[in-house]
Amino acid sequence: SSTVSNRINFNNERCFSLTGLNSDQFGILLRTIECNWPYQISKSDSLFMYLARLRLGLSIKKILHLFEFEQTQYSTITRMISIIRERLLECFVPLNIGLNHVSRGEIKIKHTTELSQKLLSCEEENLITVWDATYVYIEKSSNYNFQKKSFSVYKEVFRIEWVDSIFLSGRNELIGKKHVYANQLVST
């Protein structure tokens, strides 16, 4: 099937309230998904629905209603959201999240200050980072599998845990997240 033009009309305010990104940021993210897009629903609409779903925790039925799609397009919307997620994991995540996209030399040059080396009496070749493991309480999800992964039996709440590296320049790098599952921490 051929690509259809964008159905979803949004201004900067609507974009920010539904996705958490302004229009410029949305455009930058959209451009990082470099690929042929031979699908029924445009790449822009698919990304917009995915980000709105991610930010607001909407079900596919609510997405259909909010963006005025027919109920018969349920499986198509589900597939598009899944494809966008996969493309972001392929194209955006490796270049922007985690320690794999930044070299040791870049960390040393851009994110290690002379003051911190003197305060900590570190050798010049050493890197200085701060590591933090924390968790955030979340609302109960409508997705049963995610409910199982995010429920802490010990705390009796839903939560997500992650490890974060903070460079002394203030830049943060998300290293990994953990789900509490059956009284065990499972790294993903």
The model's pLDDT over 116-126, given as tens digits with 9 standing for 90+, comes to 777 878 777 77
- The pTM for the full model equals 0.63
Q: By three-state DSSP, how is residue 63 classified?
A: helix
Does some domain include residue 7? no
Pick from 18, 12, 44, 13: nearest CA to 31? 44
DSSP code of 72? G
Residue 185: per-residue pLDDT: 44
| β partners of residue 185 | 180
Specify whether 88 is located in the same domain as 26.
yes
Both tokens assigned to 119? 């305060």
C-alpha 159: how far from chain center: 16
My answer on whether 35 and 87 are in the same domain is: yes
Do 16 and 90 sit in the same domain of this protein? yes
- At 13 the three-state DSSP class reads helix
Q: Are residues 76 and 149 in the same domain?
A: no
Q: What is the pLDDT of residues 77-136, one digit of tens each?
A: 999 999 999 999 888 888 877 667 777 777 777 777 777 777 878 777 777 777 777 777
Q: Which residue has the tokens 């499986």?
A: 75
Burial of 128 (0-12, 13-18, 19+ CB in 10 A): middle
Work out how many domains the chain is built from and give that number.
2
Using DSSP's 3-state secondary structure scheme, residue 58 falls into coil
